[in-house]
Structure 1
Amino acid sequence: MQLRKLALAAAIGGLLSACAQTSTPAITQDQVVEHYADIAHAVYSDALIAAQDLDKAIAELLANPSEQSLNAARSAWLAARVPYQQSEVFRFGNPIVDDWEGQLNAWPLDEGLIDYVAPGYQHELGNPGATANIIANTQLQVGGELLNVSEITPELLASLNELAGSEANVASGYHAIEFLLWGQDLNGTNAGAGERPWTDYALGENCTHGNCDRRRDYLQAASTLLIQDLQYMAGQWQPDQDNYRAELTALPAEEGLRRMLFGMGSLSLGELAGERMKVALVANSVEDEHDCFSDNTHHSHYYNEKGISNLMFGEYQRIDGSTLQGPSLLQLVAQQDGQAATQIGDQFRTSEQAVYQLVQSAEVNKVHFDQLIASDNPQGNQLVENAISALVEQTRAIELAANTLGISNLNPDTADHEF
């Protein structure tokens, strides 16, 4: 990480020096917006590739159920989260993304809608679908409606999202697949993730918990739908097409920058600092942990932060190891105010390091996010508080960038949290 920080500092220094040289052509707002779209296309394309790899691992699990094939599918899911979490910065400010993403990444979810759960599990009060168990039933009685769920298809899963008007009824997406691969994490704020046995996907007498055939169908349908959804969004950012990218880049460049900066600030403040960290910390609630079945929350938070950072610095490291680099927001700011650009770059490095401490806690010290938020872990609580505070300061740096570029009243979404 220290090498990463040094490299990042050198890169920023190079950017600012380049801007100071009169022989270097100034970058334009249009170029920055165009590169923003390039990064979006690269990130969604990578998310699609990773989802296709996950689908192959799921196919192997279903063809040859074993501890090894289940663990391989879990590893593929973890890898798929890396590019997708970096895509969430495109949600806010781009309605086409915000309207679409719920089918892929909605959480927290009442997992009893999907499959068996432990007795007395916590779910949203008054949710009629909280224990519907699609896998165990071919018909669902929800209120006065009788639903036929005999054939589990991608289309069926899409239709069951927010069943009976409850946002906790999540039938598809990354977290539905996560639950199907890990099962419930019944450890509370103690160490440990979900421990679903591979035999939940075995056929015949080796099947555990019943309905293994329908569980297999559900996992495959969820994986297929994930790929279909990502194909759609990657296509929306492809160049030289009649799509959302064309619509965005046809707008005045200032509007493109506004959407870009609003998305960065809203993910940094209301969503990541608020919904994904503060809510779980204040309530000491593992039910509000982002990747709660796999205990991968530290990485999801960090790659959300990387997605924000990617846009400020105009860089994205693709899953094949290559780097996409181009005209950046920070360069644009530096052309107007070098001191402001230095301040923003410093804050972004500080914020990234603060969020990375959550990764180090999990990967080095083996203390994961659900343990950090425990009421009897003041040191862990402070680590999360530090990350929240750093994200708040990062949002101020984003607002400084906006003001420097003449974009006033950015008002990033706070999700009704006070900081």
Structure 2
Amino acid sequence: MSRIPVPFRRLLTPVVLAGALLGSACGSSDGDLGPDSRLEQSLVTNFTDTVVLPTYQRLATRLTELDASVQALRNEPTQARLDAARAAWFAARVPWEQSEGFLFGPVDSERYDPALDSWPVNRTDLDAVLASGDVLTPSYVRNLQETQKGFHTAEYLLFGDGGTKVPADFAPRQFEYLTAITAELKAVGDALAGAWTQTKDGKPPYRETLTTAGQAGNAAYPSLQSAAQEMVGGIINILDEVANGKIAAPYDAKDPDLVESQFAYNSLSDFTNNMRSVENVYLGHLSDTQAQGQTLRDVVGVDSELDVKVRAELAASIQALAAIPEPFRESIRAPAAAQRIEAAQAAINTLKRTFESQVLPLVNR
């Protein structure tokens, strides 16, 4: 069967981001945006400290909690322990999916993204690991193919098909594999959060790289404009992935094996949290925090016609996703759901075009 190479987003990123940043060729190349620039240094500082760092810290904490809950399940395989482990998996998905509006920096360069979230998984490959005689340590798991580890392998082992697995279904070998995976997830989550706040191998924390955009010697971001473009490009990229990858690929093929988070019936929650990621980047804060500096919304103009449009299209995208019946893996083959699925795609693509054609030019000036 034809399958999507994974992680799917790695196919989208070069094309979408290149198109998103094309307008930068019209901007200044020396880091001076001129007197008409709308950008302030606090744009990148606020984004980093109020959106990125709390999201990654929350992810690291929840992956630690997932690992602990899975260890507890292995020690005492009861339904209550299984329910707790599944709840911890769901909880960890939230900050991860809400980070996908900024899949740049260490998450990309250090390949933490594919280590955490490659999909779709191949059940035959997973069963081959279980059938092998290899000792399933975290270091062994670290060297497996990306689709044999991460969130979705843990999902497969925890939930079975649609959450039908019960404690008696777990073989000792499955617990060995599952605990090795969650230990590795915990390690990756810690490394990702640390990459933004700690020096590693002589490299400064990525927080320092991003928040000093436009300052002398910053080769990664020679101007504030280049950092703002990265932010808007991340938004455009995830909108494209959700509409034209996560939704379109399985829907067009009518293939449930291409659905993200299909075993836990969590697909639509994932997509919605991707929209929340866009919202967080645009507003410059999480739902439980306040912005501490300039935001993309400020660049657009608070309560301007474009700001009202962006926020309305965001709300429409979230509402359209909520109208699709879960499980998404079944809805893709249900004629009654087709119109709702296509409406969600259209809503998200409309928002994407708004960012491409109206928001991006504001940071390209």
Category of TM-score, reference length = shorter chain: 0.7 to 0.9
Matched-pair identity in %: 25
Please state if 1:259 is matched with 2:230: yes
Picking from 112, 129, 145, the partner of 1:100 is: 112
1:384 to 320, 341, 355: 341
Between 1 and 2, higher relative CO (CA 8 Å, sep ≥ 6) is seen in 2
Instruction: Tell me, yes or no, if the aligned pair for 1:280 and 1:288 is still in contact at 8 Å.
Output: yes
> What displacement does 1:109 show?
1.0
Offset at 1:229? 0.5
Paired residues for 1:93-172 under 5 Å: 93-94=104-105, 96-97=107-108, 99-115=111-127, 133-138=128-133, 149=134, 151-162=135-146, 170-172=147-149
What does the per-residue CA deviation read over 1:308-340, in whole Å, with 9 as the maximum and x for residues that have no partner? 1111111213xxxx32434320111117x9332
- Structure 1: segments with no counterpart, 5+ residues: 1-25, 116-132, 139-148, 163-169, 186-192, 202-211, 363-367, 408-419
Query: Deviations along 1:145-180, whole A, 9 cap, x unmatched?
Result: xxxx2x211111121115xxxxxxx12111010011
Aligned counterparts of 2:105 and 2:336: Cα–Cα separation in 1: 38
From 184, 192, 208, the counterpart of 1:246: 208
Give yes or no for contact 1:29–1:332 (8 Å, CA) kept in 2.
no
Q: 1:353, 1:266 → 2: CA distance?
A: 20
Q: 1:72-111 counterparts in 2 under 5 A?
A: 72-91=84-103, 93-94=104-105, 96-97=107-108, 99-111=111-123
RMSD, aligned α-carbons: 2.2
Paired residue total? 313
Residues 229 and 364, structure 2, Cα contact 8 Å, conserved in 1: no
Q: Runs ≥4 in structure 1, deviation > 4 angstroms?
A: none
Question: Amino acid of the residue matched to residue 273 of structure 1?
Answer: A
Displacement, 1:57?
1.3
Provide the C-alpha distance between the structure 1 equivalents of 2:153 and 2:183, rounded to a whole number of angstroms: 13
Larger radius of gyration: 1
Letter aligned with residue 137 of structure 2: T
> How far 1:239 moved relative to its partner?
8.1
Which deviates more from structure 2 when the two are superposed, residues 65-74 or residues 342-351?
Answer: 342-351
Query: 1:285-304 deviations in whole A, cap 9, x for unaligned?
Result: 11111101111111011101
Q: What 5-or-longer segments of structure 2 have no aligned partner?
A: 1-36, 213-220
> TM-score normalized by structure 2?
0.80
Distance in 2 of aligned mates of 1:306 and 1:213: 38
Q: What does the per-residue CA deviation read over 1:38-64, in whole Å, with 9 as the maximum and x for residues that have no partner?
A: 211111111111111212211221111
- Deviations, residues 378-402 of structure 1 (Å, cap 9, x unaligned): 3311111111101111111212111
- The one of 315, 339, 345 equivalent to 2:311 is 345
Kindly report which structure 2 residues correspond to 1:1-400, keeping only aligned pairs within 5 A, or say none. Answer: 28-38=39-49, 39-91=51-103, 93-94=104-105, 96-97=107-108, 99-115=111-127, 133-138=128-133, 149=134, 151-162=135-146, 170-183=147-160, 185=161, 193-201=162-170, 212-238=171-197, 242-250=204-212, 251=221, 252-269=223-240, 271-317=241-287, 322-326=288-292, 327-334=294-301, 338-358=304-324, 361-362=325-326, 368-374=327-333, 377-399=334-356, 400=358
SS of 2:261's equivalent in the other structure is coil
Contact 2:69–2:81 under 8 Å retained in 1: yes
Q: Is the 8 A contact 1:236 1:244 kept in 2?
A: yes
The offset of 1:356, in angstroms, is 3.0
C-alpha separation between the residues in 1 aligned to 2:190 and 2:149? Answer: 16
How far the C-alpha of 1:96 sits from its partner, in A, is 4.3
Equivalent AA in structure 2 for residue 135 of structure 1? L
* C-alpha separation in 2, matches of 1:171 and 1:262: 29
- 1:372–1:383: 8 Å Cα contact kept in structure 2? no
Return the offset for 1:245: 2.0
Counterpart CA distance in 1 for 2:246 and 2:125 is 22
Which residue identity lines up with residue 84 of structure 2 in the other structure?
A
Of Structure 1 and Structure 2, the greater helix share is in 2
**3-state DSSP of counterpart to 2:323:** helix
Q: Could you tell which deviates more after superposition, 238-247 or 274-283? A: 238-247
Shift of 1:104: 0.4
In the alignment, is the contact (CA less than 8 A) between 2:39 and 2:363 conserved in 1?
A: no
